[in-house]
Structure 1
């Protein structure tokens, strides 16, 4: 029994790290293939549809995750999640239209959300702050190998077997990580305190969907953004929208960071190939720069923690993203995106720990898990939806990147509001 208890945190930590590696592989495959998929599906004006589907699915799943877990148990939830993930990925790989591709990505994102709260709340319960920050650093390091070889390998494999088969590359890594997390956390009593109000939570993807499907209609896009923000305020802990010092401000910084960084990351290959005329191969190299900088810097930041790291790091990321808005050459883009990634590596470990530590706020582990996933997912959803909508309209990619840089600067301000 003692050995089993000791093995639980180890399996959990390894599972979380393995899932981050899977996320890295998935991210590089998706971003590298985006211009090719958009061209093949004649979806250059539907970029929001292509890039927001998985995040929409993830967010729809979050209020359902604890309910499904309570009804099906860990094994049943894993089986349901894997079925939805594989089915969605196969649908995306065989898609003939942008709508079919988005529906497949939606299903894959839905599957990811089924186990998201389960794994992270277990990490908060069983891993102390010192171990958690090491797990965050190790998870960040999982982006190093994919950053070095992922884009080139993806494009090479796409030339060999086509983008549809290449889209299936992440499957074994996702399966391995999910199995480890479920094995580590099985036997835990189900908890109701992580359940989210269903109607309030679903207003977030509803609003984002309005932005994605606005078709260039600014009143509809603005209404969708307003609904998303209202839903976010309703489900995040009190004080997050006001950036109240402590955990709420850290969660607010996570939202703003995710809007800026993940929005910029999702569109960077399109920005460079369509906006600046850079080759797809060079765009793939730039794509790797930020995750590589993030991964390497996180290893250092985890050892030499400082309360100033989140503020300084997010400021660097804002600066790098702003330079991308105006810099047109391959060399400028490479340097700017590398600086942005180094900034994230400096900021993220400390910001994540601050956002998942209750302090004097009295949050439970499940509430913290719910809040941090919500913060990142809302940010990703808004960044990708708004960025995709702007990029598909006459406003263009450059307005999107100006918005992303402004969001990251605001994140740096929020990170400075400590207790």
Structure 2
């Protein structure tokens, strides 16, 4: 890769993180509105898990598509799927149509995910990747401050359907930069990922989402997801073997807890606490803002040994939400608890991510690390959103947030087996 391309690649990754922040706040803020308009309050799992299901289906297909179409052809196919899916979601009249549109968008994102991250691992040294993590965290600050309020205002003016289109220019810009910088990379260093084993994960999660209160199907889906996850992550991940496997295991558990809780936060506040969308938007911003600012500061320190402490704080903040829901606690406590959860993620995530994407003596290649870290985080998100959505649709918001807190506490335990030393720890 030529001298200027690492900078272009890093800029593209940071731009995509900004696009992810905008997309996340738009989706979370609009969720109660969309659920009400589509008469889908009993189908929350379907509304929130569609994009992650699509992303996971794309993971085993990504290298095959890039091999066949090349980087630019994959970009064109991905953009067509993304825009088509967004149009379908924005024009949806049923929960199923909305979920299908979100699925197409997730599928499009997954086509380039492995390609872009493996290129980053190949061409950005660890010091630069730490700076990219810091800059990516900073990309959440402005959306966290203005995103929910701006989304509500825009939805009031033009409706939620047009508001869904806000992230489009940011997504296009970031994906263009990543493909431009990494366009001459090989698609992968190994054989394509096993299709059958990888698809066990979204198949199992779909069982949870579509269980509609039928618990045998939900439990079978969860078990299938776990089995699929164990079969495709690097050896030792399920046993939390010290080093990279333990970091990947902690990443799965973290994603189950945090992203599951985050996906339902507006529903928790409006349905569980009876708050209006305005106060809910304030709380919605608290954790991502705490994550962004704390992570930006944490990555400037010379020693990154915060995953255990940070994940413990996030588990505590999430558990407080569950307790406050059961006792009908005051708004101020809810706001502070979710802010503490975000600060904990800001402390934990940089060191955890670097550990999960640094081969060290493990012998993992760049492509293996890229697929593993994407798999770990996406599996966690998918399982957390699917199980949380199923529980909340059945009236179990308290149980969902208690489960999220337990998953985060387990992530903190797994993080004790992670070596979080990075090059920045040494002169």
User: What residue number does 1:13 align with?
Assistant: 10
Residues 31 and 266, structure 1, Cα contact 8 Å, conserved in 2: yes
User: What residue number does 1:264 align with?
Assistant: 261
Residues 14 and 135, structure 2, Cα contact 8 Å, conserved in 1: yes
Alignment of 1:10-409 (within 5 A): 10-193=7-190, 195-327=192-324, 328-394=329-395, 396-409=396-409
1:14 CA drift (Å)? 0.3
Point out where structure 1 has 5 or more consecutive residues left out of the alignment. Answer: none
For structure 1, which segment, 61-70 or 328-337, has the greater mean C-alpha deviation from structure 2 after superposition?
328-337
Residues 295 and 349, structure 2, Cα contact 8 Å, conserved in 1: yes
For structure 1, which segment, 100-109 or 182-191, has the greater mean C-alpha deviation from structure 2 after superposition?
182-191
Q: Distance in 2 between matches of 1:195 and 1:135?
A: 28
Residues 243 and 417, structure 2, Cα contact 8 Å, conserved in 1: yes
Residues 301 and 346, structure 1, Cα contact 8 Å, conserved in 2: yes
Residues 207 and 223, structure 1, Cα contact 8 Å, conserved in 2: yes
Q: Secondary structure at the match of 1:195?
A: coil
1:407 CA drift (Å)? 0.3
Residues 91 and 100, structure 1, Cα contact 8 Å, conserved in 2: yes
Q: Secondary structure at the match of 1:295?
A: helix
Residues 305 and 351, structure 2, Cα contact 8 Å, conserved in 1: no
Q: Secondary structure at the match of 2:2?
A: helix
Q: What is the TM-score with the length of structure 2 in the denominator? A: 0.96
Cα gap change, 1:243/1:215 in structure 2, threshold over 3 Å: closer, same or farther?
A: same
Q: Secondary structure at the match of 1:291?
A: helix
Residues 115 and 187, structure 2, Cα contact 8 Å, conserved in 1: no
Q: Secondary structure at the match of 1:5?
A: coil
Q: Distance in 1 between matches of 2:339 and 2:369?
A: 31
Residues 305 and 350, structure 1, Cα contact 8 Å, conserved in 2: no
Q: Distance in 2 between matches of 1:76 and 1:58?
A: 18
User: What residue number does 1:411 align with?
Assistant: 411
Q: What is the TM-score with the length of structure 1 in the denominator? A: 0.98
Q: Deviations over 1:198-253 (max 9, x none)?
A: 00000000000000000101110000000000000000000000111100000000
Q: Distance in 2 between matches of 1:324 and 1:56?
A: 27
Q: Distance in 2 between matches of 1:173 and 1:89?
A: 14
Q: Distance in 1 between matches of 2:183 and 2:62?
A: 15
1:329 CA drift (Å)? 2.3
Displaced runs of 4 or more, over 4 A: none
1:195 CA drift (Å)? 2.3
1:194 CA drift (Å)? 6.3
Q: Secondary structure at the match of 1:114?
A: helix
Residues 18 and 176, structure 1, Cα contact 8 Å, conserved in 2: yes
